[in-house]
Structure 1
Amino acid sequence: MKRPWGIRIRLIFMLLTLLFIPILIFAGVSQLRLNSSMEESLDSRVQAGLEKSNRSLSLTLEKYYTLLYDFCTDDDMIDLVEKFNAGAEDMESVKIRIRRELKHICNRNDGVIGLAVFTADGTCLYYDGLSSSTSESLWINSSMNLLQDEVEMYQPIKYATVAGNDPVYVFSIQRRLIDYRDIHKEVGSVLISVDERVLQDAMKGTGSEIFVLEQDGRVLSAPNNSMIGSTIRLDQISRIGNRSYSEYKAASVTNEKSGWNIVEFYPLSHYQKTMRDQFWLQVGMVFGVCIVLVSAVLIVIHPVIVSVEAVLKAMHRVEEGDFTTRVEKRGNMPAEVVEIADGFNEMVAQTDLLLGQVRQSALEQKNAEISALEAQIDPHFLYNTLDTINWKAIAREEYEISEMVGDLGDILRYAIKNAGGVTTLGEEIAWLKKYTRLQQEKLGKEIQIFCSLTSEAAKCPMHKLLLQPFVENSIRHGLHGSKKEPLLIITGELENGMLRVKIEDNGKGMPEETVTILNQPDYHREDHFGIENVRKRLRLYYGEAASVLFESRPSEYTRVTLCIPVMEEKKIENCDSGR
């Protein structure tokens, strides 16, 4: 017959079963949340790197574009080229002066390795910075005059060989020479050639490895120039040339100025190592807790086991006929066992009762330990913590930090409590002011807010958090980097049963093409998910009755007009009762 488990084994098994499963679930959920957090962190880093690379590329191209523009509109240079076109008697002197100016500009500006002037009849006058020559060049020739109807264009990558056979890759920008005294007059064009390495230097530090692709997918700039000229498909960028990037996270963005695509690769080894370390840490914690629990159980129940075994021995002796046997009492003997010993003569009548008491005592002890180990999260923990930080800031006379912590607490309460519910325009704007005060700390400037609401509009109901994405975009994309004093203007009024709210900033503004794209109903862009989210919510709340209109003028303003129907009282009650 199989011997039944003893009390020690039963208690250990039950405790491990009841505690191991919750701990395992907690560890699994923690691991999943860490995975999600790491992915979000990586995505944020990738997005920030792409934006920085895009800005750096635009600034670099703008530098050489400005240099080219100044050259193409210089009256003295226009006069020299027009003399050449007219066949001046001192033709050689004109050529020398043009080449001298080309050499001067090339030597004075880093990265510029060549300049060429194409006259009206196709003649090419150039200076090659690599060979320091105006008569010999391995890569400048008349076939590079590709400019036709455009005022400006970017040309594909070129290859040149210098002393020592070290490869040099260049890209070129060509612009038409314009005589503003007669803009229709055909004068010629200028080609500026720039070392490809300036692109890598400009974007250095933004990502692990950065590639710049032409519109056809050909590599224009790369960390290793042996990859230049390879072709990359943006939908299949796991391999470039002979190198695999399967262990990298790839992301791309199109530079609006040049039409080039920026592709960045971020290594996943660090994140994968972190995930592995966290996994083994969770495993170690689970086993460590189990070992501690088993040890604790053994320590707690040891006196009970010893006492019970003493009683069993006495019972066996009684079964053998020795009714004079008595259970020896010890100082650490539990009260239940003492009672058993005292009632030993009535053992048969009291056995079930005493065993029931032991079981009940063990169960209560187990439940007490489980209750003590279960963590209960106070729903107001976050607010209480912020309140504690606030009082510490006040105690240290950090009143600005105290005000920011207070604003953050109010923002969280407003956003979390009845999320998606109905508020009024006045309450929404009061919340936005606190939100803006926190954002201006990151901006580094005080943001002036001007609000103009009619009394009816201020009391008008609307869904919460509809205006926040537009205010955030105004600060991040409009006011950030602007030299003006930041200003936000918010107006609200009722008109023909519609609540019309306008949000305007005096920031950098947007090009007309961007405004047109934003005003398209089916507009979708990953880095503008806030705007897309608002549009989806408007369709859910109001159907086709609501609208969003963008207006902007570069370097002056950006204005967003939100129109929503005035909500009826019955609909407001339905919204609030559904949450």
Structure 2
Amino acid sequence: MHQWFKGHLSESNLRTKLLLLFSVLILLPLSLQGMVTYRHFSATVNHKTEQFTIDIVQQINTNLDRMLKDLERLSLMPLYDQMVLSILAKYNGPMGSGTWVLSDDYLKMKLYTSGQAYNRPEIRGIHLISNSGILFSNVDAMSADAVWDSRRDSWFSDLFQSDGEWTIIPPHEPSYYSSPSSESYISVARVIREPKTLVRLGYMIIDVKVEAFGHILSNLNFEREASLLIVDDRQRFIFERVEEGGVSAYGELLKDGQLQEMRNRQKKKLGSRDYLFVQHHSSYTGLSVISLTPIAVIQKESREMMTFTLWFAAVCVGMVTGLAVLLSYRITRPLIELKKAMARAEQGNFNKRVTMLSNDEFGQLGRGFNKMMEEINRLFHEVFVLGMREKEAELSALQSQINPHFIYNTLESINMMAIQRKHAEVSDMVTALGKLLRYTIDKVDRRIQLWEEIHFVDSYVRIQQVRYGGKLQVLYEIEDEVKDCLIPKLILQPLVENAVYHGIDDREEGGTIWISALRFEDELLITVRDNGKGMSETEIEELNEAIGKHTDNQSLQLSGHDELGLSNIFQRIVLMYDKGGSLTVDGSPGRGFAVTITIPL
């Protein structure tokens, strides 16, 4: 490391060394002071934040005790009301056996439960249930069942097994509510016994909205990015407020018994974040309030202090840099000018000279550099420039020679003249001819896509249509799915030309040529058909038989229709596709002639 730093320092320029020296003199003491201050400030802030979190958790548990103690006292009230006890005793029996209730009893119990729930927005419903399942509630009769079988709800077993003590039932979905709802409630419940005989008369259930627990937090300055979890003495979930954008921590803490093993003020990693674990247990309710505060939130003020220190250090670095640049400018300026002049010389600019010439060593270097540039510039013009002129002359001679594109350029010039003189037909013919030449000069034996061959045929047809006027009409029937199929190049144009010259040329009324392509199973069928003079059935049979025997060109000259290369096309198809490809002809006198090519796909 030392050798690396020493080597890089020796290679640095003078201005860089001055900047480095000033930076070290300022930043070293500043960095030490900042580190000591940050450590002390961070430790103090973290301790205060942890203590504040503990105080908040204790206050939350105190508020919970106050709310639940009020609900516990509410659950004791039926024990001191003889009317409630007598009505519950009247409907005694096995659970689920109750069927009806007197309207007078219903109204009395409705009035009693409604009075108990008055001005208590946190309560969803107060329910008095007899042993037989008759349910008296302050809830509207359309929203709660009049008879309820507690055996349908698994959570009721905790209340049934309690011995008259009040109990807290974790979030559940009671089945006695008639309207379908997925809303859960936390209930405070108690077994109601006759005070003298201790005979079980029924049950009292107070359903508390889950939001009531959230309202407790809203009155406290609890960190928004922290998570809060409430569990009972059996580690069952009661309530959780998840941090913004976070996920539930209950399952992670409960896994493998971690919740029981964790100590207060312990740091815990959940997911990708570290948290401070703070827990407070209430001996009265048996509930534990757990706070999970991200360590990043606790250290937020520490990071702000570090940010301030870094910004202050950046300002100092900027001031040091400006001072170093100002002081080193006059010392290093001549060297920088000389360096720039040398860089321009490396790029081939030998005309620049160093203008800042003093009487010191830098001035002597500048004058020597200027003399060297003058000599190099003279040699450059004598040797290099003359050689460049010779190369340019050779290049001009080569460019004057005719290349393969000379014909294309000439056709383009003719096309422009035709356009300027408004000879549209001449322009169309020249353009089509240019496309034909470009297409045919390319490598002949390669395969191309069908649509390229169709475009080439269309250029040829345009020339023939100008020649024949309105006597020639060509129709295309090409399926979209076969346009990209590969076919041998230059197999359609000879067929179209054959149809023009030997099928339609002699007819005064002209004619029509149909070009079709379709897919049949795994084969591509291409047909060129005209409505010209056609051939006799005998001639057609002899021509197809001759083609099937792979004979030479002379044996295929059975008709004028083959003069433009039917045999040539057939031989190319056989060479490329072997027995998978074929060429057949068909027609009749006066109804035209058709050639069909089959190509395997």
Calculate the TM-score normalised by the size of structure 1. 0.41
Calculate the TM-score normalised by the size of structure 2. 0.40
Please tell me whether Structure 1 or Structure 2 has the larger radius of gyration of its CA atoms.
2
